[in-house]
Amino acid sequence: MDNFSLYPREEPFDPFSVMLFKALQVIAFLFFLALLAVNPEAKTGKIDTKAEFIIAMTWPDSHPDDIDLYVEDPVGNIVWFHQREAGFMVLERDDRGGANDFIMVNGKKITTPLREEIVSIRGNLPGEYTVNVQHYLATTRAPVPVAVKVEKINPTLQVVHYDTVTLNQTGQEKTAVRFRVAADGNVTDINTRQKSLIELTRSTRRGAAPGAGDGK
């Protein structure tokens, strides 16, 4: 029996200490099971969103210039900084470069280097979509590379388009991509034929009430 003792032969056997040690082992095991129950394993790579498409425009981190994203749907709705929601489309943020990428906390300015605008499309509307970018305000007088990515979310994530266009001066507008969505949600006819959306918004705003300006 001595060969299976938990203690050296020269020490007296203490059954109470053995029982206490075993009890602590059981408690530690139960605590471990409780942690597994309240902290389930994270499912990495899972995207939980109701959008059908995500259109993201980015330009270099910490860049001071103001770049704007315009998206037109098949029935002529356009989202841009003056019209954040139209049809199934939502402009998540008007990023104005160095003008609004900060918050004040206790009198201290906290900045973010990220330069990004995102439009989500929350329903499948068959027809052609046009995605344009505009150099709203150039402060550096240097060309700005602007990346545009279109992702189809459902039923699985698929990159429909990714490319970079270069804007050179204030007011310049370029079509980044045009694509057609079929009735079943599939994307066809991806191209970069140029089309001005700013002219369309100006035409709409000419019919608005007097005094409606074009500034941000």
Task: Supply the DSSP string of 32-93, one letter for each residue.
Answer: HHHHHHHSPPP-TT------SEEEEEE--TT--SEEEEEEE-TTS-EEBTTBSEETTEEE--
How many domains, in total, are found in the chain?
2
- Let me know whether 12 and 59 are in one domain: no
CATH number of the CATH domain containing 120: 2.60.60
- Let me know whether 16 and 115 are in one domain: no
Residue 173 inside a domain? The answer is yes
pLDDT-derived band at 154, boundaries 50, 70, 90 = confident
Structural domain for 26, as ranges: 2-35
pLDDT for 78-101, tens place per residue? 999 999 999 999 999 888 876 665
Residue 194 has pLDDT above 60, yes or no: yes
Residue 125 has pLDDT above 60, yes or no: yes
pLDDT of residue 148: 98
Residue 74 inside a domain? The answer is yes
- Let me know whether 18 and 81 are in one domain: no
Residue 216 inside a domain? The answer is no
- The contacts of residue 93 (CB under 8 Å, 6+ apart) are 116, 117, 118
pLDDT for 105-119, tens place per residue? 777 767 677 899 999
> Residue 30: enclosing H or E segment and its boundaries?
helix 15-38
Distance, in Å, from the CA atom of 122 to the CA atom of 52, rounded to the nearest integer, reads 5
pLDDT-derived band at 211, boundaries 50, 70, 90 = very low
pLDDT of residue 43: 47
Residue 115 inside a domain? The answer is yes
Residue 213 inside a domain? The answer is no
